[in-house]
Chain A
């Protein structure tokens, strides 16, 4: 068995401490992420899906528990430092790109994710050919709009760009936070297909939150279900491949009882 890249050990996040509303929004979570894992994450609203991503990204402090990267404790590492190994695509197309900067400028920014940014010239022109290649794989005309401000792109193009920005510098872990949810069904399917192609081709390690049971079954090698801040279901490999939508649905119905 290979070593996990990333481990969450007994993570608890408590909010409203000392008040009657005190609640554990992460309740003793244990999760080990292995190289090449493509984990789809399901859960109803308030189950703790976004909290899980915020814990991994360092955006919210944990109450107790330990976070390990390659076996090293990074529990108190800042958000900025974690971007060296982590990248993220948000649900809202407006969140992932700088609207007044051009597509090429955004890509250039993301190419230095987690790295030192100094007084060296950015050398935008030298990157244009490479950016054209990278954007053309999305098949949505992005490659012809490299000098357009991203605020003028369609939602689909912006999300495709966000995805490219998250993967242009290979992340050790990629977090996709319902990144196709804000798009129309057609565009959503196209982006999901392109996402899957990129992840499989480049053997990326990825966690993807989704609301689509079909997507959760179709993509990835592992499926995790969250409920009330707990992991209630975690299957991988053949077991996941053989899972049917009916079984998954019945499982969700059990949760409600």
Chain B
């Protein structure tokens, strides 16, 4: 039981990372690799801030800002210097590794004995692992509500239009550069925030914790889409978090089958690949289905 609760808690926390990636990957249609650097950057900034005496809440907000700044750099490299977005992201991701080491002063930093957002009277009075579930629900709800509100504003619509048809957006006076920089900034801010929460959940920040983050976040988005199919924009945002929880269940199942935790990144990649294959397989299946139906009718 507790293992399932723990998986839900992790799914919710990682849901924020999925929502962050959704903004660039699905709305702006960008493959943004910066996330592999901003996730540990959020974790590092948060832990370092807690070490220097900041309250966990302030430290978590600092993580958001740190991630956002890295995203802004990617955005500026892409829009102003015209470096392809994939490469711009890889540059910032690589640079972030060194920056993260600087922030922490070493490769990993434990939060043992330090205050975190999970260490308060209310959360500690809950049964084991329910603390991260409650915290996850609160943060995911706030983030999702803010993004849904934002997307319904005039600015949010301009943001969606930029991803949908940049030529048209420019012809309507929308500054697509500003929208893309903003999108990369907010997206990476959220991913930094996710990194901070994961670090507090796990009790440490590690400079290597960013490896594979993009696959996990993509899996949340794609699993949500495959499971729920055609949805409105707002429903899709919520589906990301549900997808993230389902992904945790799948991983749990695979580990129960006897796979080693060292194989986790391999398993993540395979899970994502399988979910990306499903729509194709289903299409084929349907085509065969209709063909078979057509044959019998004529008989």
Contacts and interface: CB of A to CB of B under 8 A. Distances in A.
Interface of A: 57, 79-81, 83-84, 87-88, 90, 94-101, 105, 108-110, 112-115, 117-122, 124, 165
Contact of B164 (A88, A101, A110): A101
Given A105-B157, A117-B154, A97 B165 contact: yes
B165 A95 contact: yes
Nearest to B164: A98
18 contacts: A81-B173, A95-B167, A96-B168, A98-B164, A98-B169, A99-B165, A100-B164, A109-B158, A110-B172, A113-B172, A114-B172, A115-B173, A118-B154, A120-B153, A121-B153, A122-B153, A122-B154, A122-B157
A60 to B, nearest CB: 13
Interface size class of B (residues with CB under 8 A): 20 to 34
Contacts of B160: 98, 100-101
Contacts of A119: 150, 153-155
Contacts of A122: 152-154, 156-157
B155 A87 contact: no
Contacts of B171: 57, 83, 87-88, 90, 96
Interface string B146-180: 00001011111110110011011111111100000
A241 B170 CA distance: 37
Given A80-B174, A84-B173, A98 B161 contact: yes
B153 A98 contact: no
Contact of B170 (A80, A98, A124): A80
Interchain residue pairs A-B with the least CB separation, the first 7: A83-B173, A114-B173, A98-B164, A117-B154, A98-B165, A117-B158, A113-B172
Contact of A113 (B157, B167, B173, B175): B173
B154 A95 contact: no
B170 A117 contact: no
Contacts of B165: 94-95, 97-99
A108 B155 CA distance: 12
Interface of B: 150, 152-158, 160-161, 164-165, 167-175
Contacts of A112: 154, 172-173
A215 B173 CA distance: 30
Given A105-B157, A117-B155, A118-B153, A98 B168 contact: yes
Nearest to B159: A117
A109 B175 CA distance: 13
A115 B158 CA distance: 11
Contacts of B168: 95-98
Given A98-B165, A101-B164, A121-B153, A79 B158 contact: no
A109 B176 CA distance: 14
Contacts of A109: 157-158, 161, 172, 174
A109 B169 CA distance: 9
A108 B165 CA distance: 15
Contact of A101 (B152, B153, B161, B174): B161
A10 to B, nearest CB: 27
A201 B15 CA distance: 53
Given A98-B165, A119-B155, 13 more contacts: A79-B170, A83-B173, A98-B169, A101-B157, A101-B164, A108-B157, A112-B154, A112-B173, A113-B172, A114-B172, A117-B153, A118-B155, A124-B152
B257 to A, nearest CB: 39
Contacts of B156: 122
B14 to A, nearest CB: 26
Nearest to A96: B168
Nearest to A149: B164
User: A95, A109, A120, A124 — which one has the most chain B CB atoms within 10 A of its CB?
Assistant: A109
A168 to B, nearest CB: 10
A30 B271 CA distance: 63
Contacts of B153: 117-122
